[in-house]
A and B are shown apart, each in its own frame.
Chain A
Amino acid sequence: MTNTTDPVGGFLRRSQWRPTEIMVWVLVIAAFFVFPDRLVLGSRVLIIAIYALSLDLLLGYGGLISLGHAAYFGTGAYAAGLIANYGWTEPISGLIGAAVIAGVLGYLAGFIIVRLNGVALLMVTLGFGLLISELANSLNDITGGSDGLNMTFAPILGHFDFDLAGQTAYIYSAAFALLAFVFVRRIVNSPFGLSLQGYRENPKRMAQIGAPMAARLRLVNALAAALAGLAGGLLTQTNQFVGLDSVGFERSADTLIMLILGGGGRLYGGLVGALVFLVGRDVFSEANPQYWYFWLGLLLVLIVLFMPQGILGGIDALLARIKRMRKAAP
């Protein structure tokens, strides 16, 4: 029954596509036709979902808290912008370049991060994020400082220009979102991903069974950073602009909130969280932009109090309850 005697079969079962997962992607495609005038918001949701997914890999699966994840998002965002501004305007290769640059930064930062835990880890990630943010602010000549940078990109695959309605941006973002989810699925359902979850549950025990966790955490930090950089690069390319808001503390805090809102460690929590967060902000900001953060803070407090597993976790718990009640009833 269990996968203790049949490890390969266990991994195969874990990595099977569930019907609900396929439904998510059908909905992503359907949204393109159902909301043709909200595609800009839609592509924003998909991009931020990739970003939240990268944090999920780190926090939801690896158990590493980061208060400075925007450092990688911002690095990718600025890298994508600068690559274009220095003359390489082909978007797909530029995006990959941005992800690689962010990934290298993440790998290097990993050497510091694996040595720390608890408050010191929080502090260093927070400080690291602010460091990168300060760097973007003060390297005026390169990053444009508080004015940001404008750039233009060549058409995707030589044909599709970024249009005002956001059609190209939506399809482009959706394609990369699908790739990112397939990639992260592979990782978390691999032995490597399983050892990360082991570390999340009990770091000491992983050390006792001889897992080389320092190297694995460096690797996962690099992978998460590369994904965050990819999301940042996508945002730059679809906006044709990059500014300081892509690297600030809010950017780190927001994604943490989205992930928790949707539910960490469940792959699709970040997507659900990003959808609720961005659509909610869109609705609330029209009424009262100043107080959006009040409702957001309240939501966060309520979630921590009553729904620690997020929306998806709440749905799971509800379904399990219904199942139990059905079983109890004759």
Chain B
Amino acid sequence: MAEQLFTLVFNGLAYGILLFIMAIGLSVTMGMMNFTNLAHGAFAMIGGYLAYTVTIQLGWPFLVSLPIAFFGVGAISVFFEAALYRRFYRSPQLSQVLLTIGLALMSVAGATYIWGPQLRLVRMPDYLSGQTSLFGVEVGTYRLFLIIVGAIIALGLVIGLERTRFGAMVRATVDNRRMAQSLGINVNRVFRLTFALGSGLAGLGGALAANFIGGMLPNFPMGYLLVYFLIVVTVGGLGSTMGALLAAVLLGVGDAAVKFYAPHFASFAIYALMVVLLMWRPNGLLGRR
């Protein structure tokens, strides 16, 4: 029983950390620029497909595909930010929603064109497959790897945001963009860098998630995962790293638990919980505004 519970929490934790890596960039876009980016899932999808291309089509190792997904998607996102997103920071939310839904639809068709409609898996090295013994319980090696990588990234983000000069600029911009601007912070530059970082993390998350979710499909950006991203962001509170992490882990463990104990009830439980949470605290669990 205890062992079962441990496995369940462990798997949920791995899933939650994945969601966190994929969703944290969205938190930045919404918190900093007040921009509703419903195409964020497309960045994660491209990362997943890049990992497929690198490991299967090119035959390079998995660990090489991760930085390629991170930097590749980061570079693509910079292009979109400069070409499209930037014009819409002051637009009404409806325009942002429509623009990004349009982009998400295009990414679905584009991915079908480039990578085909089939499930695409990433080739895993042997040392990341199979089981490992942890505190006397057999757990998936890849899940353990995910949790370690995720913990490093989360720690890096928290330290980067709380302890560095750039992090202070980011926090100032999230808190009050106009005030930060009048203090001489180049808000647009800060945002561009943070946006690239967030999108790159989404790409990395997509590469890490490809096998975990059973393979990449072109409809990834429109699927339920988009909702999960948004839950992480809205429930966690805009621009709050710890809030997003907490929400993601809760969502991951909750999802695993509900799927295990009440599989028919799984999707309702998540959405119903979200509606209740947002009614109770519309600005997120740890949100301040």
Listed in ascending order, the chain A residues whose CB lies under 8 Å from chain B are: 59, 65, 67, 112, 115-116, 118-120, 122-124, 126-128, 130-131, 134-135, 138, 249, 253, 256-257, 260, 290-294, 296-301, 303-305, 308
Contacts and interface: CB of A to CB of B under 8 A. Distances in A.
A131 B271 contact: yes
Given A130-B271, A293-B108, A301 B102 contact: yes
B267 A300 contact: no
20 contacts: A119-B30, A119-B36, A123-B230, A123-B274, A124-B278, A124-B279, A128-B275, A131-B275, A290-B109, A290-B113, A294-B105, A297-B105, A297-B108, A300-B99, A300-B105, A301-B103, A301-B106, A304-B95, A304-B99, A305-B84
A56 B97 CA distance: 16
Contacts of A304: 88, 95, 98-99, 102
A290 B224 CA distance: 20
B282 A116 contact: yes
Nearest to A290: B112
B268 A134 contact: yes
Interface residues of B, number: 43
A297 B109 contact: yes
Contacts, number: 120
B87 to A, nearest CB: 8
Contacts of A296: 102, 105
A323 B224 CA distance: 49
Contact of B279 (A115, A122, A135, A253): A115
Most chain B Cβ neighbours within 10 Å, of A134, A249, A292, A303: A134
B110 interface: yes
A145 to B, nearest CB: 12
B82 interface: no
Interface SS of A by simple majority = helix
A161 B110 CA distance: 44
A297 B230 contact: no
Interface string B108-148: 11101100010000000000000000000000000000000
A303 B271 CA distance: 32
B244 to A, nearest CB: 14
B62 to A, nearest CB: 30
A257 B38 CA distance: 14
A65 B110 CA distance: 27
A128 B279 CA distance: 13
B101 A300 contact: yes
A130 B102 contact: no
Contacts of A128: 271, 275
A126 B102 contact: no
A142 to B, nearest CB: 14
Contacts of B112: 290-291
Given A115-B279, A120-B234, A131 B30 contact: no
B51 interface: no
Contacts of A135: 268
A120 B282 contact: yes
Contact of A138 (B98, B99, B117, B264): B264
Contacts of B104: 297
A161 to B, nearest CB: 39
Contacts of A300: 98-99, 101-102, 105
A300 B271 CA distance: 28
A285 to B, nearest CB: 13
B97 A120 contact: no
Nearest to B39: A297
A123 B93 contact: no
B272 interface: yes
Contacts of B264: 138
A262 B127 CA distance: 56
Interface string B148-172: 0000000000000000000000000
Contact of B106 (A120, A124, A297): A297
Given A116-B282, A297-B109, A301-B99, A130 B224 contact: yes
B231 interface: yes
Nearest to A65: B94
B271 A134 contact: yes
